Amino acid sequence: MERIFLYFAQGFCSMQWQQFVMLGIGFILIGLAVVKNYEPMLLLPIGFGTILVNLPFAVVLGTAEHSGALKILFDCGILTELFPLLIFIGVGAMIDFTPLLERPWLFVFGLVAHFGIFVAAAIAYFCFGFSVKESFSIGIIGAADGPTAIVVATRHAPSLLGPVTVAAYSYMSLVPIIMPPVIKLLTSEKERKIHIQAKNKKISRKIAVFFPVALTVFAGILIPDAAALVGFLMFGNLIRECGVLEKLSKAAQNELSNIVTLLLGISVGSCMTYDRFLTAQTLLIMILGLIAFTFDTICGVLFAKFLNLFRKKGNKLNPMIGACGISAFPMASRVVQKIALEEDSQNFILMHAVSANVSGQIGSVIIGGIILGCI
């Protein structure tokens, strides 16, 4: 009887207080997913993975001699970058690049609105002593692109993968909370009421099919380290636009994305052990990620205001579309359109906002490739 009692008590007795804290964090992440609907497809599996890896004796992770289930998933799906790249196929299949092809000049916002990445990286390096690779792994949180953040952190700072991933997906879900006050602080009521002249061009199917192939070749030659990120994203879009793979397009958008997202989330949760996560460094990463995200919005809005200095009266840009240059698609464009309608119920800037928003998806993977190749 005593032996049975000791068996059932050994797990509880082996627990340290830090593990109980991490169990609490796991419950919080699940709560945010279920109650607040914050990125539930990622935060819920990450939260549950956090609970699993902080249970006694790390059975789910395994040992050096025998890898557990989560360790196998992490090694096969995260370290090989397979899961993030498969997710990009689904993302590409969901995105319609037609609004951007109608207004290709708006692609500039997909680059400018990611400048917050470099601001946060500079602060991390010069003010807090992170290495160059760690600094950019933190800065990439500002891309608002979870798969890109995972790839960069996996290569450059695997020890920071857990907090970087949680921060990236948390701030993506908080776009409706973070962006509006920043936008309103930088713009006047008059600017937010600006109507943008709509001049839509008809985009043929040939152009829609040619675009993902051409962009892959161009980016792969110019920025070789971006080839995988851009290529898988554009492959998903090609499936969507080709018109002959409708079943595969729907499968990529639904079954593939859902299954891989669940596996990716619970695999990332394997990084959330108490010895890695319960540090002052984690809190600092969350703060720096918020700085990166905020400065992305600031840079996008200010650049739109700068362009207005050279545009004729009556042909001004609504500077709010600059904030859509981040990769949080389509949430960022929806938030901006909502603000525009609050100021003027007849102000429809959604198509321009979406154009900038989808350019942000391309911009994030290109910048991620540059960081991978040059840092």
What does the pLDDT look like over 102-112, one tens digit per residue? 888 889 999 99
Q: Do 207 and 214 contact (CB within 8 A), yes or no? A: no
Residues with Cβ within 8 Å of 260's Cβ and at least 6 positions away in sequence, in order, are: 83, 86, 87, 90
Question: Nearest-CA neighbor of 91 among 262, 211, 240, 215?
Answer: 240
Give bridge partners of residue 62 from the DSSP assignment: 67
Q: What is the pLDDT of residue 2?
A: 61
Considering the entire predicted model, what is its pTM? 0.89
Checking if the pLDDT of 294 tops 90, the result is: yes
Instruction: Kindly indicate the confidence band of residue 275, based on its pLDDT and cuts at 50, 70 and 90.
Output: confident
Better-scored residue on pLDDT, 7 or 58: 58
In angstroms, the CA 370 to CA 19 distance is: 38
Residue 62: helix, strand or coil by DSSP? strand
Measuring CA to CA, how many Å separate 129 from each of 121, 200, 243, 278? 11, 49, 51, 19
As to burial, measured by CB atoms within 10 angstroms (0-12 exposed, 13-18 middle, 19+ buried), residue 77 is buried
Residue 67: helix, strand or coil by DSSP? strand
* Long-range CB pairs of 303-308, under 8 A, 24+ apart, other chains included: 303/108, 303/109, 303/112, 303/113, 304/109, 305/186, 305/187, 305/191
As to burial, measured by CB atoms within 10 angstroms (0-12 exposed, 13-18 middle, 19+ buried), residue 42 is buried
Checking if the pLDDT of 57 tops 90, the result is: no
Checking if the pLDDT of 284 tops 60, the result is: yes
Checking if the pLDDT of 126 tops 60, the result is: yes
Q: What is the pLDDT of residue 330?
A: 80
Average pLDDT over residues 308-327: 88
Helices (H), 95-204: 98-102, 107-112, 116-128, 132-139, 146-156, 161-173, 175-186, 189-192
Instruction: Kindly indicate the confidence band of residue 12, based on its pLDDT and cuts at 50, 70 and 90.
Output: confident
